[in-house]
Amino acid sequence: MLGGGEMFEASTLLYIHVETPLHVGSGRNLGAVDLPIQREVTTGYPMVQASSLKGRLRAEARPPRMEAAEFKAIFGPDTADNPSEHAGALAPGDAKLLLFPVRSLAGVFAWTTSRDVLARFRRDARMVGVGVDWDLPPDGGATEALVSGNRLIGGGKVVLEEFAFDPVQSEVAGQIGRWLANHALPATEEYRYWRDALPGRFAILPNDFFRDLAQLSTEVVTRVRLNEKTKTVERGALWTEESLPVDTLLYAPVMATSTRAQNGARLEGRQVLAKVAGLGLARVQLGGDETVGRGMVYLRWGPLGGEA
């Protein structure tokens, strides 16, 4: 739970599993990629800013899916109305990276993470009152990958992209992998295969190597715009675009206050989160490239802070 005196009354975690390549852009860039994805300034880890996430939740919750008075109280008035009337009651945070899929010599691909990422996840989970019953693994060597089982081991090494790691069997890695499979991946029947597979394909990498993979192993595609008459590429209409790969797992803290509408629906913070989580939102489209089928994600809401 958030401590007494805090402005937020209720909180939870929202897990976001990427089903088609996800491009939440940061605008034009002078680097090698014309349209890069959003990244944290200090770490370079991919992220989705809170404003993008809240905008998508707002769009999905619009009437008639949600009763109009409750929608206005939870998300705030539309800009075309009187946006200064009152603020909304829902406050998502930035969606941060938790698991990053990387091509593997054995096992097809690995879900990778690092002690740095896991430590930040534990801190964020504690902030919103969500229990995590595992500890961080001990700090491994600079070329070691902590794994559970032999699924990712080929030729005595864990080979991810061009990096080769010495495998170290870790009971803690298995515990974390199972926890993530049971609590973070979608709980539906169609995801049973992936929940079963995650612990065996789970690898905890050295912090620096993980950072490099998260920066250099995203999907980059070249796109063009055609002239409608000639069906040739328009002059200057060739660009590269970065996306998070399929099976990336993100998480975001989501908090709520009591609604502030003077003459509208009156809801406490826990009721606000229950209303939004109870909409049944599962697959939604996030970010750009909606017309080419990108940005499909699966949402899983965690328990309210303090609940099992």
Q: Where are the domains of the chain?
A: 1-22+50-93+244-308, 99-116+123-217
Residue type, 131: G
64-69 long-range contacts, CB within 8 A, separation 24+: 65/279, 66/275, 66/279, 67/265, 69/261, 69/264, 69/265
- At 30 the pLDDT is 57
- At 236 the pLDDT is 66
- Does pTM top 0.75 for this prediction? yes
- At 83 the pLDDT is 65
Buried b (16+ CB within 10 A) or exposed e, 80-115: eeeeeebebbbbbbbbbbbbbbbebbbbebbbbbbb
- At 3 the pLDDT is 46
Residues lower than pLDDT 70 in the chain: 1-6, 28-31, 80, 82-84, 236, 306-308
- At 235 the pLDDT is 73
- At 33 the pLDDT is 87
SS3 helix, strand, coil % of the chain, rounded to 5?
25, 30, 45
